[in-house]
């Protein structure tokens, strides 16, 4: 475990654990919650890259950020990662953003190795199951907590050549629905977000941002900072009107 620290962390708030952090959505979600005063833990396989992200977010947001290595396909790795994280305090928010890379659309079903298929399900769905089991008991004790699963258009529609990703995301959506129905009455908000489109770099990282119609391919991409704002909205929803599932897409999405 490693991390960067800033002077502005709010100890009255719990910890936000973002599992599956890369340079786009995961990092934006972590930055958003850090900006709102939470202590943040970012988890992924590449600890070196995570440490860079942690230092960057801590410096920019004056918040405390921990980088923790995790292999979501390995139950032992998940357990050890959360043992360290739970020792730091109460995990108020779990965002599961990890998934295995999808196969090429040209990949035929008969060419997919069963080992590859099982590994994809282990990362996308079984890992989410293990992570949820780590945080739910304390959430139930406190009658408070948010769990958000990142889905995709593949959560709803299977496509040829997308067996690994689509099957994993279908199962993840079912897990989200089951958990919501069991734990919502205990004060835990479980939500599933359908990301219907490709996520590009944050608009803030671009030198100029004008009319989306003039941006070529980038105009079709979703801004990870905007998506992160939607995750924050889910967490802050009034208990009298919780969303179990929302879908997000660019305004230029073609139906």
Give which of 31, 27, 18, 132 is closest to 70, Cα–Cα.
18
Highest mean pLDDT among 9-18, 25-34, 97-106, 246-255: 25-34
pLDDT reading at 116 higher than 70? yes
pLDDT at 206: 54
Give which of 118, 130, 150 is closest to 71, Cα–Cα.
130
- Structural tokens at position 96: 């599961």
pLDDT at 203: 81
Q: Model confidence over 63-77: pLDDT tens digits?
A: 999 999 999 999 999
CATH number of the CATH domain containing 9: 3.40.50.720
Is there a domain that residue 118 lies in? no
Is there a domain that residue 49 lies in? yes
Is there a domain that residue 62 lies in? yes
- What is the domain count for the chain? 1
Is there a domain that residue 121 lies in? no
Is there a domain that residue 253 lies in? no
Can you give the residue range of the structural domain that contains 69?
2-104+127-248
| Residue carrying the six token digits 């708030």 | 13
Is there a domain that residue 115 lies in? no
Q: Which residues contact 109 (CB under 8 A, 6 or more apart)?
A: 160, 163
Q: What is the pTM for the complete model shown?
A: 0.90
Longest dimension (CA), the chain: 55
**Confidence label for 209 from pLDDT (cuts 50, 70 and 90):** very low
CA distance 193 to 106: 27
**Confidence label for 86 from pLDDT (cuts 50, 70 and 90):** very high
Is there a domain that residue 114 lies in? no
**Confidence label for 3 from pLDDT (cuts 50, 70 and 90):** low
What are the phi and psi torsion angles at 64 (to 5°)?
A: -95, 125
pLDDT reading at 211 higher than 60? no
Is there a domain that residue 214 lies in? yes
| Residue carrying the six token digits 């995709």 | 152
252 versus 165: the higher-pLDDT residue is 165
């Amino acid at each position: 475990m490693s991390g960067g620290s800033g002077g502005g962390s709010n100890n009255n708030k719990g910890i936000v654990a973002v599992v599956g952090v890369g340079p786009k959505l995961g990092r934006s979600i972590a930055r958003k919650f850090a900006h709102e005063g939470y202590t943040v833990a970012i988890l992924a396989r590449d600890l070196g890259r995570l440490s860079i992200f942690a230092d960057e977010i801590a410096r920019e947001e004056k918040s405390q950020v921990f980088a923790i290595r995790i292999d979501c396909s390995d139950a032992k790795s998940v357990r050890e990662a959360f043992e360290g994280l739970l020792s730091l305090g109460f995990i108020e928010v779990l965002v599961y953003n990890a998934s295995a890379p999808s196969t090429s659309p040209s990949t035929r079903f008969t060419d997919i190795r069963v080992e590859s298929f099982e590994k994809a399900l282990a990362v996308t769905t079984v890992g989410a199951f293990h992570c949820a089991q780590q945080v739910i008991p304390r959430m139930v004790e406190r009658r408070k907590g948010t769990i958000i699963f990142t889905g995709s258009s593949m959560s709803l529609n299977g496509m040829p050549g997308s067996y690994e990703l689509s099957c994993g995301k279908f199962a993840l959506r079912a897990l989200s629905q089951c958990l919501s129905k069991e734990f919502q009455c205990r004060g835990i908000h479980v939500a599933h977000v359908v990301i219907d489109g490709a996520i590009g770099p944050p608009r803030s990282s671009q030198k100029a941002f004008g009319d989306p119609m003039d941006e070529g391919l980038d105009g079709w991409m979703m801004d990870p900072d905007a998506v992160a704002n939607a995750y924050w909205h889910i967490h802050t929803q009034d208990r009298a009107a919780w969303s179990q599932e929302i879908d997000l897409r660019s305004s230029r999405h073609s139906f």
